Amino acid sequence: MVARIEALALEHPAYGCNRIEALLALGARRVSAITIQKILNDKELGSRQERWLALKRQNADQVIELSPEQVALLEKLIPCFKKRHVESERPGQLLLADTFMLGTLKGIGRVYLHAIVDAHGSYALGRPPSNSPDKELGGQLRTTDSCR
């Protein structure tokens, strides 16, 4: 029964203990929501975030098909997931860059982070923080095609 609860939690990571209890009841098995929550906590699957992280670890080395329910939850949690259609044929073909202000340090001033992500493998780079936004950096990196 514990294995079935764990499998349901990973199959439906957005479901809480009450919904898993209802799914088990459909199969003529009665387990209380409190017991299910205790089992999930023991398996480190007690929260929605823990279940998603466990699912990610379990499938890290393989390509998986997401169910419509999983896609809907991801789009709700991560709004930019809807725009995931960006692809590149090789590393370095498409680099995405942005500059973020990290904050202000006394005596130094504003501190910026220059971040670059390779769209091919989602490899991220960060330039050491600076105290000037250097707006030209993003434009230069987007057009660079250095990894042929």
Residue-wise pLDDT for 71-95, tens only, equals: 787 777 777 766 666 677 888 888 8
Handedness of CA 73, 78, 84, 89 (dihedral sign): negative
Whether the pLDDT of residue 134 is over 60: the answer is: no
Q: Are the beta carbons of 99 and 135 closer than 8 angstroms? A: yes
Q: What residue spans define the domains of the chain?
A: 2-61, 95-143
Q: Are the beta carbons of 116 and 125 closer than 8 angstroms? A: yes
User: The whole model's pTM is what?
Assistant: 0.47
Q: Are the beta carbons of 97 and 141 closer than 8 angstroms? A: yes
Residue 133 is predicted with a pLDDT of: 58
Residue-wise pLDDT for 29-76, tens only, equals: 889 999 999 999 999 988 888 888 887 787 777 777 777 877 787 777
- Pairing state between β 123-130 and 95-105: unpaired
